[in-house]
Amino acid sequence: MQQVILERPGKFCLRETPEPAAGAGEALVKIHRIGVCGTDLHAFAGRQPFFDYPRVLGHELGVEVLSLPSDGSAPQGLSVGSRCAIEPYLNCGDCPTCRVGRTNCCYRLRTLGVHTDGGMQSIFSIPVRLLHPSSALSYDQLALVETLGIGAQAVRRSQLGGTESTLIVGAGPIGLAVVQFARASGAWVRVLEPNPLRREFVAQLGVEAAADWSGFDRQPADVVFDATGNLASMEGSFDLVAPGGRLVFVGLVIGRISFDDPSFHRRELTILASRNSAGLFPWIIRQIEQGVIDTRPWITHRLALSRVPDRFPELPGQPQLVKAIIDVD
């Protein structure tokens, strides 16, 4: 079968490798779609934290079930042929955070395509408990459930109220996921995004967008989500929060973040980190099935798995890029 491996920063290799065998409690799945994440772009550029090379990328996956465990461990509603999203977080289930349901903060958490090899290949074996089926959604939609999970987790962490003003910094896929769930909560949502094409895209969703804070008359927000993964932006986001407000860091940056402590204390701000998602996949799938969330307009670029070594280097920096999908069919 075909497999694409990131040998080192800037260097993908396409190779043939034997199909995997499913272990105990695992399903064998055919990969149909792979979403290209900011994590993948950072890994390609050599800027991804907690990352080792070589690595098979791919953690945003729309798949078809080929086989299930014979021990009856498959969740109800899952069968051979089911279309599924994969929850790519391998938690231990036994540490203190797992025992209280915060599996995204597992002491020994590994993420497919980051800490261990992922799904940038034709066939994959996966613990059956990580499969989430939908008979209604396409493989494109299923591949983007993980992206939506990042935004859903951030909004849940913020405890966003329907009457609160909300500012989202960055309109990449993660920022768009935050936009979707913040709007669904009934909050007043604005977006800061320097890329004019992405601002236009956000405006088509009915959301006010500006290139910088002056476009909003410097009016601070009750809740600010920074989805940039950019150090200067994350430090600047402290100035965008209203007194008594909350700042949620959705993006991740290598290094330390600093802020002015007197201003932070004077406004009694709350800082929150948001990581992955925990237990939200079934709910997100229902939101898409019911038409509350729609990611179909996000997909702006496509490439075949076999063309990843040639075409992936073209993706970073493209102003038109919102979301790229890799087709494995």
Tell me the pLDDT tens digit for each residue of 186-223. Answer: 999 999 999 999 999 999 989 999 999 888 888 899 99
The predicted pLDDT at position 267 comes to 97
How much is the CA Rg of the chain, to the nearest whole Å? 20
Return the CATH fold of 151-273: Rossmann fold (3.40.50)
This prediction's pTM:
0.94
The predicted pLDDT at position 123 comes to 97
Buried b (16+ CB within 10 A) or exposed e, 186-203: ebbbbbbbebeebbebbe
Does pLDDT of 272 surpass 80?
yes
Q: What is the rounded CA–CA span in Å between residue 70 and residue 50?
A: 35
CB-neighbour burial class of residue 264 (10 A; exposed 0-12, middle 13-18, buried 19+): middle
Residues 308, 14: contact at Cβ < 8 Å? yes
The predicted pLDDT at position 72 comes to 77
Share of residues in the chain with pLDDT > 90 (%): 87
Does pLDDT of 73 surpass 80?
no
Give the confidence band of 107 by pLDDT, cuts at 50, 70, 90: very high
In eight-state DSSP terms, residue 19 is P
Nearest CA to 158 out of 275, 246, 252, 250 is that of: 246
Length of the chain measured in residues: 329
Q: What is the rounded CA–CA span in Å between residue 224 and residue 248?
A: 6
What's the mean pLDDT in 250-277? Answer: 95
Judging by DSSP bridges, how do beta strands 188-192 and 241-249 pair with one another?
A: unpaired
Domain ranges in the chain are 2-144+295-327, 151-273
Q: What is the rounded CA–CA span in Å between residue 209 and residue 204?
A: 10
Give the confidence band of 319 by pLDDT, cuts at 50, 70, 90: confident
Nearest CA to 153 out of 205, 103, 108, 206 is that of: 103
Residues 40, 315: contact at Cβ < 8 Å? no
DSSP labels, 121-178:
BSEEEEEGGGEEE-SSS-HHHHHTHHHHHHHHHHHHHHT--TTSEEEEE--SHHHHHH
The predicted pLDDT at position 294 comes to 92
Top-tier CATH class for 2-144+295-327: alpha beta
